[in-house]
């Protein structure tokens, strides 16, 4: 299973939110490049980089942070947050993203998101499926739609999506365990998709459970920053 540390950016700084709440923000490092280099030095190969300012502004904001990490490290970067237009996606890839994740745009502008899948391929475009009570959440998790998670995923699988990052908002930042049962349902129902679990991972045992059920990858954030998981321990995956 692929271990993918997360760097969330607000005002150019590395932060973490609790349950997606911008009012529950903790700054961990004012220089995200230092964090990224630490990950790389520990043998990490992939990074999940989220532009939280962009998610709120509905357009890419922190692309300079992306550019710096992409040029100063060899990490394979999945970038998301605020990508709503062709220009946003162009800037993200030009700034060094290897893949981009779309969530809100996949809900509010299916036509443009489907075009990105066709233009860049289902390998380069990841579907962001952030859920609250099994309904898709959008706009940096500040709004919940009426879209059912499984219907949402099924629709985009037909359109060519190959990878999904699924975050259970209730778990995110709580360090109380991942939504293992939810991910198992997704894996059982969509065996051909790469399911990446995100949110709630608190220790190595959580990662072991995600690996056992067949997750392609696991995104880890606060557990690393709070010292619950040591980077040297994730090499076993």
CA–CA distance, 140 with 59 (Å, rounded to integer): 12
Distances (CA, A) of 95 to 24, 29, 77, 100, 145: 29, 21, 10, 11, 31
β-strand 143-148 against 163-168: which pairing, if any?
unpaired
Question: Is 70 within 8 Å of 97 (Cβ atoms)?
Answer: yes
User: Is 8 one of the annotated active-site residues of the chain?
Assistant: yes
What 3-state class would DSSP assign to 217?
strand
Place of tokens 């490049």: 33
From the candidates 53, 78, 130, 206, which is the catalytic residue? 130
CA–CA distance, 70 with 98 (Å, rounded to integer): 9
Q: At what angle do helices 204-213 and 180-189 cross, to 10 degrees?
A: 20
What 3-state class would DSSP assign to 82?
coil
From the candidates 8, 88, 168, 206, which is the catalytic residue? 8
CA–CA distance, 174 with 218 (Å, rounded to integer): 16
User: Is 53 one of the annotated active-site residues of the chain?
Assistant: no
- Residue 233 CA, chain-centre distance (Å), reads 21
Report the catalytic residues: 8, 130
């Amino acid at each position: 299973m692929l271990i993918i540390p997360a760097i969330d950016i607000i005002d150019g700084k590395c932060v973490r939110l609790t349950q997606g709440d911008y009012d529950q923000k903790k700054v961990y490092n004012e220089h995200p490049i230092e964090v990224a280099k630490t990950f790389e030095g520990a043998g990490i190969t992939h990074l999940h980089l989220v532009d939280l300012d962009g998610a709120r502004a509905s357009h890419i904001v922190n692309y300079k942070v992306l550019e710096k990490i992409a040029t100063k490290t060899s990490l394979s970067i999945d970038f998301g947050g605020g990508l709503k237009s062709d220009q946003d996606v162009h800037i993200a890839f030009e700034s060094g993203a290897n893949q981009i994740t779309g969530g809100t745009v996949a809900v509010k502008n299916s036509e443009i998101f489907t075009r990105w899948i066709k233009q860049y391929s289902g390998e380069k475009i990841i579907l962001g499926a952030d859920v609250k009570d099994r309904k898709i959440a959008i706009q940096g998790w500040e709004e919940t739609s009426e879209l059912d998670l499984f219907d949402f995923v099924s629709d985009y699988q037909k359109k060519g999506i190959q990878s999904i990052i699924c975050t259970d908002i209730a778990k995110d930042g709580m360090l109380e365990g991942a939504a293992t049962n939810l991910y198992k349902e997704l894996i059982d129902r969509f065996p051909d998709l790469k399911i990446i679990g995100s949110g709630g991972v608190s220790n190595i045992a959580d990662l072991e459970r995600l690996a056992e059920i067949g997750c392609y990858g696991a995104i880890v954030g606060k557990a690393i920053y709070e010292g619950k998981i040591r980077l040297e321990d994730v090499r076993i995956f």
